[in-house]
Structure 1
Amino acid sequence: MEFRSSTISDAVAALDERSKEIFRRIVEGYLETGEPLGSRNLSRILPMSLSPASVRNVMSDLEELGLVYSPHVSAGRLPTQVGLRFFVDAFMQVGDLSAEDRANIDRQVRADSRDGPMEAMMNEASRMLSGMSRGAGLVITSKSDPVLKHVEFIRLEPTKALAVLVGDHDQVENRIIELPAGVTSSQLTEAANFLNAHMTGQTLPELRSQLGHLKDDVRHELDALSRDLVERGIAVWSGTADEGKPAQLIIRGRANLLEGLGNPDDLDRLRMLFDDLEKKDSLLELLNLAESGPGVRIFIGSENKLFSLSGSSLIVAPYRDEDDRIVGAVGVIGPTRLNYSRIVPMVDYTAQLMARLSRPSK
């Protein structure tokens, strides 16, 4: 009989108190030690009086439900991935972070990032999550739209130019654009001067929209080739191909996941996981996972295809900008026996802190 998460309430109703207690002890023992718990040890620690034989009968019932399994003959039981999901949804109690933990997170994330670039804050948050969870800390940011400060076109070839975009925090983005046939160096300068005069102080999408409102000005001030150049440059910068895609992923503490792994297959699976995480499609999927529900999300093992081979779990939460748009996510990757009840509030608080620190000061 296979148990599915959609029937959690039915399963809870079907289990009596001793079955719930035995299941809870098996899972908590696994989360603490990673070892199976046998009937003899269980009978000693249960609050009710049950013989090892009675405990074995209950364990068999739990195995029938697909909540636990025996790793080998005559061993105790371990929770299945379905059992872990059942435990997280039906039994786990998540409390608030202690004042000490909050202060520790505040201190570490703010340490080198209060007045520094966003990347510094991401590094500190990822390192902190890794250290406090003993897993791998993950921070991902979606591509932001910088406010324009300066635009320049530099000719590279007769038909190509380098478009240089400088943002308000001095970030620089370069794009190679195709030049209209016959464009001159003076027209390159003219086009850049027009953009700098009319459109700085706006983001790229705003810039593209503003160009539509300035059609008459463009027509009067620029010749045909320069107008074409302005429109091409804006189209390349603010085209839809990159909008909303994650721009950066920082992972710290990968070595934590390698500790205690003696099986070469496990090592290979983890390497494959990290290789996959570096791919742009996977970054977008991670951000979509965080966006797919409010608050902190937990993905256990094969519940998400990114982690199905490695047998890892992901705890992730989005963070938002001042307009309540999701601009990134923070999380922890680790083995399925993560301390979920401790890490969930940690990830939640870090996401809230990232949201506050990433917003411009008023």
Structure 2
Amino acid sequence: MSQEYRTTPSLTDLDDRSRMIFREIVEAYLDTGDPVGSRTLSRREGVDLSPASIRNTMSDLASIGLLTAPHQSAGRLPTHAGLRLFVDGLLQVGEPAAEDRAVIESRVAATSRSVKDVLSEASSMLAGLAGGAGLVTSPSRESPLRHVEFVPVSARETLAILVGADGTVENRMMVAPEGLPPSALVEAGNYLSARLKGRTLKEAGDEIRAELTERRAALDEAAQSLVEMGLADWSGGKDRALIIRGQAQLLDNLQAAEDLERIRMLFDEMERKEGLIALLDKAREAEGVRLFIGAENPLFSLSGSSVIVAPYMDSDRRIVGALGVIGPTRLNYARVIPMVDYTARVVGRLLDKSRS
């Protein structure tokens, strides 16, 4: 596609005819994935304009960056900026269709109560319903902690035991600094227990790092090294699972050689686990669905894909993970957006039940 304008027009910049033609072109593109020509558009129900009048308006819409032509003689496609304007200003999003709700409830709720099974089924189900790939991150630890303890396992491995304020226990293996004395394990555990008690890792992490940087922690070198390694391992999503299902869906209905090349680039982009986790975690910045179209997220700037993500929460309304769908820009946004949101609510409810 051609380079889009930096300043995207608003709907108020369009007259009634331009707005109607723009809507028809985007809806036709989302239905078929094909460029839309003026003659084809003139035959659509409700369009009472000649092909010549439509061509003039299409040219105006292209000049302000809402439409583009993949080939000189072809019809028009919405640009990424055009899709964003359509989604934000013209798309009507409601609750998922009754059939979609039934599938979500039956597929996800029918799994066993293990967290892994719930998340894996949610990812597969989203891929099947949306026609893209389903993405789900495993829950991150956001509950307050009560106690941290380090137990030596071997000369180079240490088991970190994190006890939550709610009584949950999480064990994490760590590669320990070489020659770590037993006293350093006790010292590091006591230090973290005192500063994390009643707080989450996210809440206390910056304060602990500042203490360590400014040498205010009163820890010996070995204990400080262990604390720093623990914070690094427990933050940033390195221990969290990323579940991707339905990549084969992206290969269906390829319409041209350039489509296959974009899918290849998308597969390369999906190999970057930490980047995908960071993208899904952006849903944590707002309690609702987020949509990224094309270059709006640098991770998918080459393939020009769309990503729809939503957070899932525990019973205390704390965001613990995220899920979503990735696919071509011609995703059925009106269907997929509420479907992703509904799936996030179902997953959050089921994960709470699995812990009770």
Shorter-chain TM-score bucket reads 0.7 to 0.9
For the structure 1 residues 237 and 206, does the alpha-carbon distance in structure 2 shift closer, same or farther, using more than 3 Å as the test?
A: farther
CA shift, 1:275, in A, is 1.5
In 1, the alpha carbon distance for the partners of 2:198 and 2:58 equals 65
For the structure 1 residues 128 and 251, does the alpha-carbon distance in structure 2 shift closer, same or farther, using more than 3 Å as the test?
A: same
1:198-213 aligned at under 5 Å gives the runs 205-206=196-197
1:50-89 aligned at under 5 Å gives the runs 50-89=49-88
* Residues 1:25 and 2:24 are matched in the alignment: yes
For the structure 1 residues 4 and 90, does the alpha-carbon distance in structure 2 shift closer, same or farther, using more than 3 Å as the test?
A: farther
1:265 paired residue among 261, 267, 273: 261
For the structure 1 residues 291 and 5, does the alpha-carbon distance in structure 2 shift closer, same or farther, using more than 3 Å as the test?
A: farther
Match of 1:242 in 2: 234
Q: Which runs of 5+ in 1 are unaligned?
A: 210-226
* SS of 2:124 mapped into structure 1: helix
Partners of 2:280 and 2:323 within 8 A in 1:
no
* SS of 2:96 mapped into structure 1: coil
* Residues 1:123 and 2:120 are matched in the alignment: yes
Partners of 2:283 and 2:309 within 8 A in 1:
yes
For the structure 1 residues 94 and 13, does the alpha-carbon distance in structure 2 shift closer, same or farther, using more than 3 Å as the test?
A: same
* Residues 1:283 and 2:277 are matched in the alignment: yes
* Residues 1:162 and 2:158 are matched in the alignment: yes
CA shift, 1:258, in A, is 2.1
Q: Which runs of 5+ in 2 are unaligned?
A: 201-218
Which residue type is aligned with residue 173 of structure 1? R
Match of 2:204 in 1: none
1:182-220 C-alpha deviation (Å, 9 max, x unpaired): 759xx99xx6xxx9xx9xxx99933999xxxxxxxxxxx
In 2, the alpha carbon distance for the partners of 1:208 and 1:41 equals 61
* SS of 2:55 mapped into structure 1: helix
In 1, the alpha carbon distance for the partners of 2:177 and 2:74 equals 68
* SS of 1:329 mapped into structure 2: strand
For the structure 1 residues 42 and 358, does the alpha-carbon distance in structure 2 shift closer, same or farther, using more than 3 Å as the test?
A: same
Partners of 2:4 and 2:80 within 8 A in 1:
no
In 1, the alpha carbon distance for the partners of 2:181 and 2:339 equals 59
Partners of 1:205 and 1:238 within 8 A in 2:
no
2:135 paired residue among 134, 138, 155: 138
Partners of 1:207 and 1:234 within 8 A in 2:
no
Q: TM-score, normalised by structure 2?
A: 0.77
For the structure 1 residues 170 and 27, does the alpha-carbon distance in structure 2 shift closer, same or farther, using more than 3 Å as the test?
A: same
In 1, the alpha carbon distance for the partners of 2:332 and 2:194 equals 42
In 1, the alpha carbon distance for the partners of 2:278 and 2:37 equals 43
Q: TM-score, normalised by structure 1?
A: 0.76
My pick for the range that moved more, 251-260 or 43-52, is 43-52
2:314 paired residue among 312, 321, 324: 321
For the structure 1 residues 182 and 293, does the alpha-carbon distance in structure 2 shift closer, same or farther, using more than 3 Å as the test?
A: closer
1:5-24 aligned at under 5 Å gives the runs 7-8=9-10, 12-24=11-23
* SS of 1:156 mapped into structure 2: coil
Partners of 2:161 and 2:169 within 8 A in 1:
no
1:207-242 C-alpha deviation (Å, 9 max, x unpaired): 999xxxxxxxxxxxxxxxxx98x9779837853552
For the structure 1 residues 139 and 149, does the alpha-carbon distance in structure 2 shift closer, same or farther, using more than 3 Å as the test?
A: same
In 1, the alpha carbon distance for the partners of 2:4 and 2:329 equals 20
* SS of 1:95 mapped into structure 2: coil
Which residue type is aligned with residue 349 of structure 2? R
* SS of 1:88 mapped into structure 2: helix
Cα RMSD after superposing both structures = 3.7
2:151 paired residue among 143, 153, 157: 153
1:295-329 C-alpha deviation (Å, 9 max, x unpaired): 11111111110111111100011122333332111
Task: Give the number of equivalent residue pairs.
Answer: 325
For the structure 1 residues 77 and 312, does the alpha-carbon distance in structure 2 shift closer, same or farther, using more than 3 Å as the test?
A: same
Greater C-alpha Rg: 1
For the structure 1 residues 72 and 205, does the alpha-carbon distance in structure 2 shift closer, same or farther, using more than 3 Å as the test?
A: same
1:187-206 aligned at under 5 Å gives the runs 205-206=196-197
